[in-house]
Amino acid sequence: MPTDSIDSTLEDLEARHRREKRDLVTKISALKRTVPKGDKRKKKEVSSEIAALEAELKDRHNAEIKDFGASTADSSVSLLADAVASADLVGEGKPKNETADDQEHQPDVSRGLYASNFGSQAKLPGAKKNKAKLRQQRKAEEMKRMQEEAERDAENMVDVAAIESEAIANLVAKDGLAVHEIRADGHCLYSAIADQISTYHGQPADFQTMRKRAADYMRQHRDDFMPFMVTDVGDMFDEPAFDNYCDRIESTADWGGHQEITALSHALETPIYIYQTGMPVLRIGDDDYASKDPIKLSYHRHAYGLGEHYNSLHKVDKQE
């Protein structure tokens, strides 16, 4: 999920990323402890959830680093312009707008007007300010140089999103499917499932309906979900935390994941298949509802800057 943290420096961003990685390790450890010994089905579900959590964190970190570089470069260019415009270096001669009258009233430093009683010349007023401007200017120039290097590197980078999109298209084509684009607005999982229900199961549906179905099922079967859910610091969910989580499913644009997919599979009594690159098709609810025509979605890690997106998969012979 997107973070609300504001990182003023790259060091702040990296520090938060390290904390989030440690938190994820704690969360994964807690999830593994919830698997009963010998329960292969639960182990498979937890393994899938762990893989999704790791992929989500990695993709979000990469996106945040990329976004941070772009934002700092924009501010640095402005900073450089201000620094150059206001620079007033000591010893560089008469200022541009200085008049003869101004020169006449300038202190004669050579005669010791600002000299100490011991004959040594004191620092001119504004010297510290000028040094700060110089440091600011050098920093801005360095940031501009780094941004230019990043832009040159970006020109030579592989378009990961395009490669992933092509790979998914080829993957689903083997099963007679094609990607049907869903709007990326935080509701994509629920909108994609609603599209499948409306298109292939004869029931009108929208994302609000799917959110409510998921939240209601989780509330009614909390014992099936709470043992697998932990807070950001790795603590097991208590009742208030779980209730708040379900409320947010129903009333916000929070992204959906493995828990919500599982809940909707049971609520709709329909298997849900997730196609993604580098992994076999994830089949949720297949054991319980094998006789039902499955809902089929594609999961994209790199389609958008946010790093996670679900699309609906249509049969190729479907008239769009």
Separation CA 132–CA 34 (nearest Å): 56
Q: How far is CA 243 from the centre of its chain?
A: 25
Q: Is residue 88 scored above 50 in pLDDT?
A: no
Measured from the Cβ of residue 18, the count of other Cβ atoms closer than 10 Å reads 10
pLDDT of 20 > 80? The answer is yes
| Catalytic residue status for 185 | yes
Terminal CA-to-CA distance of the chain, rounded, Å? 32
- Say whether pLDDT at 196 is over 70: yes
As a dihedral over the C-alpha atoms of residue 236, residue 21, residue 31, residue 312, rounded to 10 degrees, the angle is 110
* Percentage of the chain lying above the pLDDT 70 cut: 73
| 273 strand-pairing partners | 283, 296
Which amino acid is present at 7? D
- Which of 125-134, 216-225, 290-299 is least confident? 125-134
Catalytic residue, chosen from 187, 188, 246, 314, is 188
Helix boundaries (H) for the chain: 10-33, 40-86, 100-104, 127-156, 160-173, 188-200, 207-220, 239-251, 258-268
Q: Outline where 34-126 has alpha helix (H).
A: 40-86, 100-104
Predicted confidence band at 210 (pLDDT cuts at 50, 70, 90)? very high
Distance CA 245, CA 40 (A): 27
Instruction: Look up 246 and say whether it is catalytic.
Output: no
Q: Which of 185, 235, 247, 288 is catalytic?
A: 185
Least confident of 41-55, 69-83, 165-179, 256-270: 69-83
CA 247 – CA 251 distance, rounded (Å)? 6
Residue-level pLDDT at 175? 95
188 labelled catalytic: yes
CA distance 286 to 264: 13
Which amino acid is residue 315, in one-letter code? K
Residue carrying structure tokens 């309906």: 209
What pLDDT score was predicted for residue 119?
A: 42
Average pLDDT of the residues in 43-72: 79
Which one has a higher pLDDT value, 146 or 290? 290
Mean predicted confidence (pLDDT) in 107-125? 42
| Bigger pLDDT: 193 vs 234 | 193
Of residues 253 and 9, more confidently modeled: 253
Question: Which tokens belong to 76?
Answer: 């640095």
* pLDDT, average across residues 168-181: 95
pLDDT at 147 over 50: yes
* pLDDT at residue 189 in the model: 97
